[in-house]
Structure 1
Amino acid sequence: MTHLLNPPLSNDSHYILCYFVNNTSQVQIARISNIPGWFFERVVFPGQRLMFKAPPNACLEIYTGEMVSSLLCDRIDCRQLQVLSLTSVGGCC
């Protein structure tokens, strides 16, 4: 399932469309926390696809863990997740 989630954007033209897939068997938390005054956090289930808009300098943090704790397992520059064509997203449209 693909979700398109957009936080409130002041000027949409300054954001990039990004795509992330949870290819693990664990629930993950996707979070962007390096942009002052801007918050993004989503639960991403195994096999789930996530589309979102973010500032180009945003960094997506991926947390994986058990119920009581989570562990930062990856940091991905959102420019690496940028969607250049919707046909490259694989089943999006």
Structure 2
Amino acid sequence: MLYPQTFDQKNWMLCYYKNDSQSVQILKIDNTEDWYFEKLVDPEERLVFEAPEMAQLQIHYQSASDYGVVEILPCYQLRVRYGLESEPVGRPNLKVVSINRSA
């Protein structure tokens, strides 16, 4: 779920994430002022989303030895790059999450 409130529309970027694990993950961004993102991501699911440049993606998942493990990735590392380096976007299980930035 996206919970946009009032925020600056500058310095946003398109990001791509794929859940390569065999378990469900919860993705969260909560380090930005006036904006919050949370999404449940199934195994092998791909997700394209917009995020502020300085956002950090928290990946919550369960491991065999621990519950609620959190990995944190800066969203700039997930930024979509155009050209041959990028993974093709037209896959059947791709889900695009867009936000309405009009206040």
Name 1:89's counterpart in structure 2.
87
Give TM-score scaled by structure 1 length.
0.77
- Give runs of ≥4 in structure 1 deviating > 3 Å: 5-13
Q: Distance in 2 between matches of 1:7 and 1:15?
A: 15
Name 1:50's counterpart in structure 2.
47
Summarize the alignment of residues 7-86 of structure 1 with structure 2, pairs less than 5 Å apart: 8=4, 12-65=9-62, 70-85=67-82
My pick for the range that moved more, 47-56 or 70-79, is: 70-79
| 1:42/1:92 CA distance change after superposition, 3 Å | same
Q: Distance in 2 between matches of 1:34 and 1:10?
A: 13
Identity within the alignment, %? 32
Give TM-score scaled by structure 2 length.
0.70
Q: Distance in 1 between matches of 2:83 and 2:42?
A: 22
State the secondary structure of the residue aligned to 1:39: strand
Q: Which runs of 5+ in 2 are unaligned?
A: 92-103
CA contact (8 A) 2:2 2:38 kept: no
How far did residue 82 of structure 1 move?
A: 0.1
